[in-house]
Amino acid sequence: MEFKEELKKLKKSDLYKDIDENAYLTHVSMMEEDKSKSGWEFGFYNPLTKKVSVIESNPLKLREPDDILNRDGDVEELDLDKVKISVDQLNELVDKVAKKENVSLITKKILILQKIKKTIWNITYLTKDYNLLNVRIDAENGALLHSEFHSVFDLGLRQ
This prediction's pTM: 0.89
39 and 3 in a single domain? The answer is yes
Quote helix, strand, coil % in the chain, to nearest 5. 20, 40, 35
3-state secondary structure 105-145: CEEEEEEEEEEECEEEEEEEEEECCCEEEEEEEECCCCCEE
Please give the full DSSP string across 57-86, using - where no structure is assigned: ETTEEEPPPEE-S--SSSPPPP-GGG--S-
70 and 107 in a single domain? The answer is no
What pLDDT digit, counting tens, does each position of 7-27 carry? 999 999 888 888 989 999 999
* pLDDT number for residue 157: 58
pLDDT band at 104 (very low <50, low <70, confident <90, very high): confident
Sign of CA dihedral 117, 92, 150, 113: positive
What pLDDT digit, counting tens, does each position of 117-148 carry? 899 999 999 999 999 999 999 999 999 999 99
3 and 70 in a single domain? The answer is yes
Domain boundary among the residues 52, 78, 104 is at: 78
4 and 68 in a single domain? The answer is yes
98 and 65 in a single domain? The answer is no
For residues 105 and 112, the model is more confident at: 112
Domain boundary among the residues 34, 51, 78 is at: 78
70 and 125 in a single domain? The answer is no
68 and 12 in a single domain? The answer is yes
Domain boundary among the residues 63, 78, 93 is at: 78
101 and 121 in a single domain? The answer is yes
Mean pLDDT for 62-73 is: 77
68 and 112 in a single domain? The answer is no
Q: Is 15 helix (H, G, I), strand (E, B) or coil?
A: coil
Question: What domain range includes position 72?
Answer: 1-78
* pLDDT number for residue 66: 87
Mean pLDDT for 22-33 is: 93
66 Cβ neighbours under 8 A, 6+ residues apart: 51, 52, 53, 54
70 and 89 in a single domain? The answer is no
40 and 13 in a single domain? The answer is yes
Q: How far is 70 from 72, CA to CA, in rounded Å?
A: 6
Domains identified in the chain, total number: 2
